[in-house]
Structure 1
Amino acid sequence: MNNKIKMILADDEVLFRKGISFLLQKEKNIEIIYEVSNGNELLSFLKESTIHPDIIIMDLKMPLLNGVEATRIIQNDFPKIKVIALTSYDSKSFIANMISIGAASYLVKNTTPAEMIFTINEVFHKGFHYNENVLQVIQEGIMPASTKFKSSFEEDYLTNREKEVMQLICKQMSTQEIADKLFLSPRTVEGHRNNLLLKTESKNVAGLVVYAIQNKIIILDNLSI
């Protein structure tokens, strides 16, 4: 039970939400701990409960408090919780806005069950999962002006090893996978990752990836996603 991915589903379309719940409950490593129909219910639960989720599946359009604002608050108040946007909106502006405020992944509602389950596991184990569409939006720099990442960065500030680790993080490899590829211990990889977060002033791994791509420290064409 302790190894299960604890999740909350936030969507005001009850039939859709129940369908997702039914689908995910079949997975042995996933536990749905709560369901809500708006952002206010979600924040009330997080503030009052002693049990927090690892991941929240977040619809963007909800009454009272929408998913965008709820995500923004959660990233500030509960930064360890990962948010996966699941929405009907697939425009670049919506994707850019959600990524800029810290969403760990972005899925549209016509995604397959297999892709959703894969994404949940990737986010849980690696901290984020960005598909090709999301990576393209990040590369194009279509971010809200108020949340744009810093555009100047001295690449020499990073060591060669840190650049190697950053490249593999952007390829969405796990700590163990990076350790195996570079013949390092997982603890050493974690140390490099922490240094990268500090040097780039990124809040989490997802933010680090955005930073690396937007500042052209990592070239998207070289990533085998």
Structure 2
Amino acid sequence: MKNVIKVVLVDDEILFRQGIKFMLDREEDFQVVFQASNGKELLDYLDNTDEQPDAILTDLKMPVLNGVETTKILHKKYPSTKIIALTSYDSHSFVANMIDVGAAAFVLKNAKPEELLYAIRQVADKGFYYNEKVLKILKEIELMKKNAKSELDAAFLSPREIEVLQLICEQKNTAQIAEILFISPRTVEGHRTNLLLKTESKNIAGLVVFAIQNRLALIDM
């Protein structure tokens, strides 16, 4: 008999959540122990149970408390809990942000069922699962960090400022950056202002040029 992997599903789309449960219930080694429609319901459950799940599948965009903020809290409060981001968004920034806040895996909602099952088993067994796309992004992030350190003092720009700079170079506007990074538009504007001051750039074009010259952002040509 295989060890049973206890799973919690967190998604505000009930039909999708039930579909995942139906799929997991057909496997001998999975047991869905709880379902939640947002991060707050999940945290309330974890605070009132003695048995922690082996894996938590969570969407990113949810009401009340979204997946990113939930993952941040879980990573600090329950560091041994393994979180799998299950989402429709696969941009560089979304993946990087979730990995940065403590996600053990990142799986797209349009992935094949076999990949999701494999991801959960890998996370339960090895503690993480990164497919080729995520590995590529992680390598790019590491390259960006190395380049930034080689060209500039490590403390010159904060990791968040570099993320904002990358998105600016991808021609994302304030609202889009705020949505991707799960921060307020006012916070985005604050980071943009700091970038302009620190780099002595006069406008956004100047920021892009600075990013290219100092190899601080990946630019798709």
With the shorter chain as reference, the TM-score category is: 0.5 to 0.7
Aligned mates of 1:147, 1:58 — CA distance in 2:
26
The CA deviation at 1:2 is: 8.9
In percent, how many aligned pairs have the same letter?
49
Q: Secondary structure at the match of 1:123?
A: helix
1:145 is aligned, of 156, 159, 163, to: 159
Equivalent residues in 2 for 1:30-45 (5 A)? 30-45=30-45
The aligned residue for residue 54 of structure 1 is 54
Equivalent residues in 2 for 1:48-87 (5 A)? 48-87=48-87
Aligned residues: 148
Is the Cα–Cα contact under 8 Å of residues 2 and 29 in structure 2 kept in the other structure? no
The CA deviation at 1:146 is: 4.7
Cα pair distance change 1:11/1:125, threshold 3 Å: same
Equivalent residues in 2 for 1:92-107 (5 A)? 92-107=92-107
The aligned residue for residue 21 of structure 2 is 21
Is the Cα–Cα contact under 8 Å of residues 8 and 35 in structure 2 kept in the other structure? yes
Counterpart residue type for residue 8 of structure 1: V
The aligned residue for residue 181 of structure 1 is none
The CA deviation at 1:84 is: 0.5
The CA deviation at 1:3 is: 2.3
Cα pair distance change 1:140/1:84, threshold 3 Å: same
TM-score by length of 1: 0.63
Is the Cα–Cα contact under 8 Å of residues 100 and 147 in structure 1 kept in the other structure? no
Aligned mates of 1:147, 1:64 — CA distance in 2:
26
The structure number with the bigger radius of gyration is 2
Q: Secondary structure at the match of 2:51?
A: coil
Any idea what the Cα deviations from partners look like across 1:34-85, whole Å, max 9, x if unmatched? 0000000000000111121010001000100000000010010001110000
Q: Find runs of 4+ consecutive structure 1 residues off by over 2 angstroms.
A: none
Q: Secondary structure at the match of 2:102?
A: coil
Structure 2 alignment gaps of length 5 or more: 146-157, 163-221
Aligned mates of 1:119, 1:38 — CA distance in 2:
22
Q: Secondary structure at the match of 1:7?
A: strand
Is the Cα–Cα contact under 8 Å of residues 2 and 28 in structure 2 kept in the other structure? no
Any idea what the Cα deviations from partners look like across 1:100-150, whole Å, max 9, x if unmatched? 1111110111001111101111111111010111111111116881599xx
Aligned mates of 2:68, 2:23 — CA distance in 1:
24
Cα pair distance change 1:50/1:147, threshold 3 Å: farther
Q: Secondary structure at the match of 2:62?
A: coil
TM-score by length of 2: 0.64
Aligned mates of 1:24, 1:36 — CA distance in 2:
16
